[in-house]
Chains A and B, each alone.
Chain A
Amino acid sequence: MTEPKKRRGCLGCSFPILIIILVIFLALTIVGFLSGAIGQEMLQKYGIDITFPSWMTIEKPAPHLPAPELFHVLGLPITNTMIASWITVIVLVIISVIVTRRMKIVPGRLQTLFEALLGWLFDLCKSIAGDANGRRFFPVIATIFLFVFLNAWLSLIPGFGSIETKEYALIPEDAHIETIPAEGNQPEHKVVLIDHKEYEIVDVDGKEMMEKRNELIRGANTDVNTTMALAVISFIFVAYFGFKTLGISWLRQYFNFGPFFRSLGKAFKGKLDFMGIFSGAIDIFVGFLELLGRFITIISFTFRLFGNMTAGEILLLITAFLIPYILALPFYGLELLIGAIQAFIFAGLTLVFVTMAVTPHSEESH
């Protein structure tokens, strides 16, 4: 007797499970649409009054760029992005210890995953920088890649940016107090405007104080300081290997006085060479531009990573505000992809610059 064939739906689940998942998704979409900003405006226009409980309403996101300092240790301010980067470092160390604790020749699954990742990075270093140089550059490049990569991916875990610390401060004397009328699902409240930022006024023990809320942890790449530190490290790395391999003549490509003075010297010996003098002068100018360009790559590294990560964070906040629960899903996928690509770009560009710094420049062969 052949048993009746179970009808398979798509994605390997049977039909009942698929229908349950679709129904839950639809319910979340409708609830999200109604309780978010778009839904509330539409409901107000049509006069339907559905008030949602306070834990389902999402207030307008207020992204602020400078990372707020949470506490001080030995006089140094600790911001919430610093805590996030410590978490990244701890996660990296724990993963490394777990993977290398009992290494086998035929590796288990976790070890295979990290062998594949590090093998891919090593092949990348060797393919761009050559065999011996690739071996030398691999530690720093892999560290930069893993740090930026895990910073970007860990900042998408729920909890980063949603756990907040509250602090109450006295309202300054001449502050500008506004009363915002009730709109949508937010009741009427009073705010204080300081520096274009709104702080809510709450009653604490009968006194009105302003409430400052800061996130506890925020993605580490959204802080200009972190990305600028990485860019400066990459600059020092390139300069160090340039000096170590080529000596002082690494600076020769920047201060390119050679051809100019050689042509001038030839003029004194009787051979007047206008083209030589002219192109020598241009060479000096181009040398200075290259020197300036090297410093500008610090700025460009900083703002590329900072801009991508901050724009991604603001995008996620705003999509979570417009239609909660649903609209943010495709943007989460985009954020994962962008985090990986930006880590690859940072490490890859550093590798290209250090390879260019190490190869000796072929001398002008006029």
Chain B
Amino acid sequence: MEADAVRLLAAGLAIGLGAIGPGIGIGILGYGAMQGLARNPEARGPIQTNMMIAIALTEAIGIYALIVAIILALL
């Protein structure tokens, strides 16, 4: 296969496979946050803040995959 075709295929694979992990991770985080909120609705503030921090950190891993895909596809 020619190099250009493999490059675009690799870009698709990079973001496709790379989004699986963060997707599952953020789902687990949301699950934990919902459970915590259900047990203790008064702690909504800290739970929300910490959930946001953890979600942004997990999402960063997906963003790394997106960077690789963009570099492969466009540069």
- Residues of A near any B CB (own CB < 8 A): 63-65, 196, 300, 303-304, 306-308, 310-311, 314, 341-342, 344-345, 348-349
A192 to B74, CA, bound (A): 16
Q: How many A-B residue pairs have CB under 8 A?
A: 42
- Cβ-closest chain B residue relative to A66: B75
A314 to B53, CA, bound (A): 24
Are B70 and A303 closer than 8 Å at their CB atoms?
Answer: no
A341 to B63, CA, bound (A): 14
- Cβ-closest chain B residue relative to A309: B63
Q: Which residues of the other chain, A, contact B59 by a CB distance below 8 angstroms?
A: 308
* Option from A65, A300, A341, A342 in Cβ contact (under 8 Å) with B70: A65
Which 6 pairs between the two chains have the least Cβ-Cβ distance? A307-B63, A304-B60, A345-B56, A307-B67, A311-B66, A341-B56
Given A310-B67, A342-B56, 15 more pairs with CB closer than 8 A: A64-B74, A65-B74, A196-B74, A196-B75, A303-B64, A303-B67, A306-B67, A307-B60, A307-B64, A307-B66, A307-B67, A310-B70, A311-B66, A344-B53, A345-B53
B28 lies within 8 A of chain A by Cβ: no
Known: A304-B60, A341-B56. A314 touches B70 (CB 8 A): yes
Q: Render B35-68 as a binary contact track against A, CB cut-off 8 A, 1 for contact.
A: 0000000000000000011001101100110110
B24 lies within 8 A of chain A by Cβ: no
A307 to B63, CA, bound (A): 6
A310 to B73, CA, bound (A): 14
Q: Which residues of the other chain, A, contact B57 by a CB distance below 8 angstroms?
A: 345, 349
B9 lies within 8 A of chain A by Cβ: no
What's the minimum C-beta distance from A365 to chain B, rounded to whole angstroms?
29
B71 lies within 8 A of chain A by Cβ: yes
Known: A65-B71, A65-B74. A300 touches B66 (CB 8 A): no
Q: Which residues of the other chain, B, contact A308 by a CB distance below 8 angstroms?
A: 59-60, 63
A38 to B63, CA, bound (A): 27
A311 to B63, CA, bound (A): 8
Are B74 and A63 closer than 8 Å at their CB atoms?
Answer: yes
5 A–B contacts, CB within 8 A, in A order? A196-B74, A196-B75, A304-B60, A341-B52, A345-B57
A228 to B54, CA, bound (A): 22
What's the minimum C-beta distance from B21 to chain A, rounded to whole angstroms?
15
Most buried by A among B53, B59, B63, B71: B63
What's the minimum C-beta distance from A224 to chain B, rounded to whole angstroms?
10
What's the minimum C-beta distance from A195 to chain B, rounded to whole angstroms?
8
A311 to B75, CA, bound (A): 15
- Cβ-closest chain A residue relative to B67: A307
Most buried by A among B57, B60, B75: B60
What's the minimum C-beta distance from A251 to chain B, rounded to whole angstroms?
26
A223 to B48, CA, bound (A): 31
Are A65 and B75 closer than 8 Å at their CB atoms?
Answer: yes
A63 to B52, CA, bound (A): 29
A310 to B69, CA, bound (A): 12
Q: Render B12-46 as a binary contact track against A, CB cut-off 8 A, 1 for contact.
A: 00000000000000000000000000000000000
Known: A306-B67, A348-B53. A300 touches B74 (CB 8 A): no
A311 to B73, CA, bound (A): 13
Q: Which residues of the other chain, B, contact A310 by a CB distance below 8 angstroms?
A: 67, 70
What's the minimum C-beta distance from A346 to chain B, rounded to whole angstroms?
10
A103 to B23, CA, bound (A): 48
A281 to B1, CA, bound (A): 48
- Cβ-closest chain A residue relative to B62: A307
- Cβ-closest chain B residue relative to A64: B74
- Cβ-closest chain A residue relative to B46: A127
Most buried by A among B56, B70, B74, B75: B56
